[in-house]
Amino acid sequence: LKNVKMISKSDGSGFEPAEIEIIPIIDQMKERLERSYPGDIQLLIDKFDVDSPRILADKDIKIVMEKLLDNAIKVQSTSSKWVKINLISGQDGMIRRIEVEDKGPGINDEMKRDLFQRKLRIGEKMLTGLGLTVVKMIVDAHGWNIWIEDRVEGSTESGARFVIEIGKSDSK
């Protein structure tokens, strides 16, 4: 139901960007993940020598991070889960790019194109999860871009990397 409400308000109305420190948001998500999923969760954060990376975003950035981290954990079948977040900032400490990587089964190129759609058909199976659709809508409302890459270049079986580019540019 929460996802449906997010989709219904995805027109950008009520969008109130502010400068937000993202590390406390990630720490909060990590605590929730550790309570929600059994096993060991290794969450690495690379801030690239920026002490307190900030992002100009609406409060919905929390939902974006929650959905991406949830998905990164869910796709991994082992009891030990590995997720890496890369926060690439400019000299001003403002985040320009967010990358969320996992060591799950990876995503083939055909699925990468369709993964943000409201319904995704894989063979005879219809997946209807709305989490990534919500992520895409929030990212779009901010004027950002999101795409999926192989965590290991050229290997669709070695995990995925979700990339959010802050600011306007051509979509991948």
Instruction: List phi, psi (to 5°) of 112.
Output: -55, -35
pLDDT at 81: 93
Spatial neighbors of 88 by CB under 8 A, at least 6 apart, are 48, 95, 96, 97, 98, 99
pLDDT at 22: 95
Of 172, 147, 166, the residue nearest 88 (C-alpha)? 166
Residue at token pair 């600011």: 167
What is the total residue count of the chain? 172
Pick the residue with more confidence: 53 or 79?
53
Query: In the predicted model, what is the mean pLDDT of residues 139-158?
Result: 91
14-64 pLDDT, tens per residue?
678 899 999 999 999 999 998 998 888 999 999 988 889 999 999 999 999
Instruction: List phi, psi (to 5°) of 136.
Output: -60, -40
88-141 pLDDT, tens per residue?
999 999 999 999 999 999 998 888 877 887 665 555 555 556 788 899 999 999
pLDDT at 3: 46
pLDDT at 170: 47
pLDDT at 114: 79
Three-state secondary-structure class, residue 94? strand
Tokens for 57, please give them: 């975003």
pLDDT at 7: 47
Residue 145 has pLDDT above 80, yes or no: yes
Query: In the predicted model, what is the mean pLDDT of residues 7-17?
Result: 61
